[in-house]
Amino acid sequence: MTKKKWFIKPLYWSIIILIIAQALTIVSVWHQQPFLDDHQIYVPTQPDTDIVIWPTPVTDPDTGEIIEPAPDPTSSIGVIVIYFAVVIAIIAIVFAVIPLKALSVVFKCLFTILFAWGVIVLLGIWINIWVAIGLAVVLAVCWFIRPKIWLHDTLMITSMVSIASIFGRFISPWTAMILLILMAVYD
């Protein structure tokens, strides 16, 4: 019985991938605001209030009178329910129309597009967009032709960081908590 080398063990790869994810996130967030300012991209800000677990009404600090009623705590859930209903409908249609043998190719193509998009968004902050597109296409094609676990995980992390950097500013903390709970249940 041979001893596994340290770089083959999944634990070490998991730690390396976690470090890469954290580094990409920190670097992306650090350069995001200057990029938005340089390109005059307006991102709506979230309200300047404390994060609360349950929405509360806005009251006058002196009199205690309600100035603005509390928002409906389920207002964000409607959009999420509609999203998941559409996803389930699309999945049902895909399984009904596409044969199972061809489905793996469809999913591989979707992952390739997602990976390329993630690299474009992340690299587009620092380098010329055409160079970022070229690198994204090369990496996505490399993964499509010869998928390796380390490349898959690195490209997946890059895509997740890119998604978070774009959509993270557009959702409220309440919606983010609901999404994190749903992802935890799913995972």
Q: Is the pLDDT of residue 59 over 80?
A: no
> Tell me, what's the pLDDT at 93?
83
| Per-residue model confidence as pLDDT tens digits over 106-129 | 888 888 998 898 889 888 888 888
What is the distance between the alpha carbons of residues 71 and 56, in angstroms, rounded to a whole number?
Answer: 7
pLDDT tens by residue, 62-74: 777 777 776 665 5
Residue 133 in this model has a pLDDT that exceeds 90? yes
Write out pLDDT tens, residues 148-179: 887 888 888 888 888 777 777 777 666 777 77
